Amino acid sequence: MPPTISPAPSPPASAPVNTRMADAEAFARRGAALRDFFFATNGAVLRRAFEALALPGSPPLPPVPAWDEEEYLFNRLFVGPGPVAAPPYASVYLETERRLMGEAALFAREAYAALGLASPWQGSLPDDHIGLELDAALAVYAALRQDAPGPADSPAPHTPEPSGLPARGPTPEDLASWWDAFVAGHMAVWVPSFLDALRRAGATSAVMGRAGDDLARWLADAVIMGRGAFAQPEQPVTKRGTA
């Protein structure tokens, strides 16, 4: 599930606004920007991902005096070398002992496999990395949005391209259940602890603070979406043989 560092352009100012579609697009774009942020491999990638968080309706981004300092802090927080201050892995926050590649990593790998997906970095990057989990959630969200009913003449919202699901993937009902189990039942449990660690360790950085705030906002929106938003309508009962 490779990251995509290509922020989608904002729609023209003259275009008519559909609030629900705009919210859906902002949710997907924020998730993609956060995925790319936590996957960043250098300062230039980090900066592009951060600037992609400048979405309509969001607070303006803070000024960044020195991106080389932000890159250094990013490595100290998430990458290393050596112990990091805010490991971006679910196992660290969910296991009894603070460690990598625990049961949470296996759970994430099996959750991806249920979608027909697999991490391209298996064996080198734990499957419960926040970037991988965001990418899987974005793929499911895109599939659910595509299957969601809507006005026939409404254009589909333009969302950043996550890792696509296989053509013959799970049904919408399965995807909705996956969302509840993985996003609302797994990510919503460990990400708040990760955010607490990030806020403590990156307290002096406006960049890390904003990334943490946006991740908290994305997660809160994601949990709300799981409360029946993707539920499929019940099929009508057919009565046969009645007079």
pLDDT for residue 12: 42
Domain boundaries, the chain: 19-225
Provide the 10 A C-beta neighbour count for residue 89. Answer: 27
pLDDT for residue 52: 98
Q: What is the pLDDT of residues 6-56, one digit of tens each?
A: 333 444 443 344 455 568 899 999 999 999 999 999 999 999 999 999 999
pLDDT confidence of 153, banded at 50, 70, 90?
Answer: very low
| CATH fold of 19-225 | TorD-like (1.10.3480)
CA atoms of 205 and 219, how far apart (whole Å): 21
- Give the end-to-end CA distance of the chain in Å, rounded to a whole number: 56
In one-letter notation, the amino acid at residue 31 is G
pLDDT for residue 8: 38
How far CA 19 is from CA of 26, 35, 80, 145, in Å, comes to: 10, 24, 41, 15
Burial profile 103-117: b = 16 or more Cβ within 10 angstroms, e = fewer: ebbebbbebbebbeb
Cα angle 21-25-28, degrees, rounded to a multiple of 5: 140
Is the confidence at residue 220, as pLDDT, over 60?
A: yes
pLDDT confidence of 239, banded at 50, 70, 90?
Answer: very low
pLDDT for residue 212: 97
What does pTM read for this prediction?
0.81
Q: What is the pLDDT of residues 44-67, one digit of tens each?
A: 999 999 999 999 989 999 999 999
Residue in the structure block whose two tokens are 């275009």: 15
Crossing angle of helices 103-114 and 172-179, in 10° steps, is 160
